[in-house]
Amino acid sequence: MAVSDSDSGTHEFDPFEAFDRSYGAGLVRDPYQAFAELRNGAPVHEGSLVDLTGLASELPPETEATAARGPQYTAFSHAAVERVFREASTFSSKTEQNEGMELVMGHTILNMDEPEHRAYRGLVQQAFSKAAMSRWESELVRPVIDRHIDAFAERGSADLVRELTFSFPVHVIAALLGIPQEDLRTFHRLAVQLLLIISDIERGLTASVSLGEYFTEIVHQRRAEAANDVISVLAHAELDGQRLTDDEIVAFLRLLLPAGAETTYRSSSNLLFGLLSDRRQWEAIEQDRGLIPQAIEEGLRWEPPLTITGRTCVKDTVLEGVDIPAGASITACMGAANHDETRWEDPERFDIFRPAKSHLAFAYGPHMCLGLHLARMETTCLFQALFERLPDLRLDPDADDVHITGLVFRAPASLPVLFST
């Protein structure tokens, strides 16, 4: 069954550009000064992130449409954000925003509390075993990255975002799911269009229906005859006598495409920018590839791909001295928490050699990111390939103002580089 994309013929609408702009790309260059001022004033503030940072006038109207109704609070310190993540019985994942996303995703792990969350997670994480991860690394991820590099390796120049980091993670996810190569481009567009439900309901719902029909047929095929892919594992997963329904699998697959591809593309791009902007650190890894894991963690701390996520306070509580009423919405600002100067010295500085301390880029507690091991493995493969295949890789000195941008989702728009052939 072929998946349809109503926009694929005209290309007049770019869902990637629309999504980025709705969350501040090209409009917000550096939110961290505002985060620091707020965090130093108080660990928790009443109000939305957009209002508190004073960035409302710089963002498009649809960004405000994502704000929750009723009392709103934002947590900025590491201690406050960590507690919000840790105490899931007080700070629920069932938020207005996540309920809105169910219109297009279906009921996903993002909008589950215990005990439903634990049972569902136990089933879906069977698809991400250590054995599977080891096999994917050599048989799938590295070949995908190499094919991307093959396209420009002899040229001596490239835009690493447009030609590599933006594309390779969705190719990996699609391969894990067993999606045919010819459907990749359309799937990437539809996956992002799902997220445009905040500004274009019709487009988001249309994308949801297209993906739902496509995935449902594949799930039925895999239940009848398993293949060597993630959908097969999900179709046959069992835990304590419980199995995933078709709707639960399809909802997870709708979430996996944008979540798995978007975050890895952004985190790997941000790390590349940080390292290529500091030759000393780049060359240190070039000499010792064993530094790659700590570089990945520092990149995630310094510039996480997603700066915030939401929770709902389900009972009256006090968070870092601030009274939070039941029913209030809580924005956990991981971007601010990861720059907390009470935890990291000179936190605005990118430094792969700083003492190791856990960050909150993947959240914390019961809802810690399910795909964190896959994301780390993909990024490790990416850097191993870059060091092996692109000697003397460096930012193009003639490139115009290369930088990371965005308020909620952050990444550089481009990374023009030169290298030896």
Is 421 in contact with 156 (CB distance < 8 Å)? yes
For the segment 251-273, what is each residue's pLDDT rounded down to a tens digit? 999 888 777 778 999 999 999 99
Q: With 0-12 CB in 10 A as exposed, 13-18 as middle and 19+ as buried, what is 71?
A: middle
Does 240 or 58 have the greater pLDDT score? 240
pLDDT digits (tens, 9 = 90+) for 163-222: 999 989 989 998 999 888 888 888 878 877 877 766 677 888 888 999 899 899 999 999
**pLDDT above 80: residue 358:** yes
Contact call for residues 80 and 229 (beta carbons, < 8 A):
no
Q: Which comes out higher in pLDDT, residue 190 or 78?
A: 78
Higher model confidence: residue 7 or residue 360? 360
pTM confidence score: 0.90
pLDDT band of residue 22 (cuts 50, 70, 90) is low
Confidence of residue 59 (pLDDT cuts 50, 70, 90): low
CB 164 within 8 A of CB 419: no
Q: Which residues contact 235 (CB under 8 A, 6 or more apart)?
A: 219, 222, 223, 226, 244, 249
Q: Which long-range contacts (CB under 8 A, 24 or more apart) does 347-355 make?
A: 348/32, 348/36, 350/274, 350/277, 350/278, 350/281, 350/298, 350/299, 350/302, 350/303, 351/281, 351/298, 352/275, 352/281, 352/284, 352/285, 352/291, 352/294, 352/295, 352/298, 353/281, 353/284, 353/294, 354/298
Q: What is the mean pLDDT of the chain?
A: 88
pLDDT average, residue stretch 291-303: 98
* Closest among 316, 304, 343 to 80, alpha carbons compared: 343
Amino acid at 203: R
Q: If pLDDT is split at 50, 70 and 90, which confidence band does 296 have?
A: very high
Query: How far is Cα 176 from Cα 228, in angstroms, rounded to an integer?
Result: 9
What is the tens place of the pLDDT at every residue in 220-235?
Answer: 999 999 998 999 999 9
Q: pLDDT > 90: what percent of the chain?
A: 62
Q: What is the pLDDT of residue 57?
A: 62
pLDDT of 355 reads: 94
Burial class (CB in 10 A: 0-12, 13-18, 19+), 1: exposed
**What confidence score (pLDDT) does residue 76 get?**
98
Query: Looking at this protein, which amino acid is placed at residue 228?
Result: N
Class of domain 25-390+403-418: mainly alpha
Quickly state the pLDDT bin for 364 (edges 50, 70, 90). very high
**Cα 74 to Cα 92: distance, rounded to the nearest angstrom:** 15
Tokens encoding 300? 């995630």
pLDDT of 16 above 70: no
Cα(143)–Cα(166) distance, rounded to whole angstroms? 16
Q: Is pLDDT at 11 greater than 50 in this prediction? A: no
List, for residues 92-146, the tens digit of each pLDDT value. 999 887 777 787 888 888 888 888 988 888 888 888 888 888 889 999 999 999 9
Q: At what angle do helices 168-177 and 142-150 cross, to 10 degrees?
A: 140
User: Is pLDDT at 381 greater than 50 in this prediction?
Assistant: yes
What's the CA gap between 206 and 193, in Å, rounded? 9
Distances (CA, A) of 309 to 66, 213, 281, 325, 336: 12, 29, 31, 19, 12
Least confident of 201-210, 323-332, 359-368: 201-210
How confident is residue 9, by pLDDT bands cut at 50, 70 and 90? very low
Residue 168: what pLDDT? 93
Who wins on pLDDT, 148 or 201?
A: 148
pLDDT at 14: 61
Comparing 49-53, 199-203, 311-315, which segment has the lowest mean pLDDT?
Answer: 199-203
pLDDT of residue 240: 85
Please tell me the predicted confidence (pLDDT) of residue 183.
85
Share of the chain above pLDDT 70, in %: 90
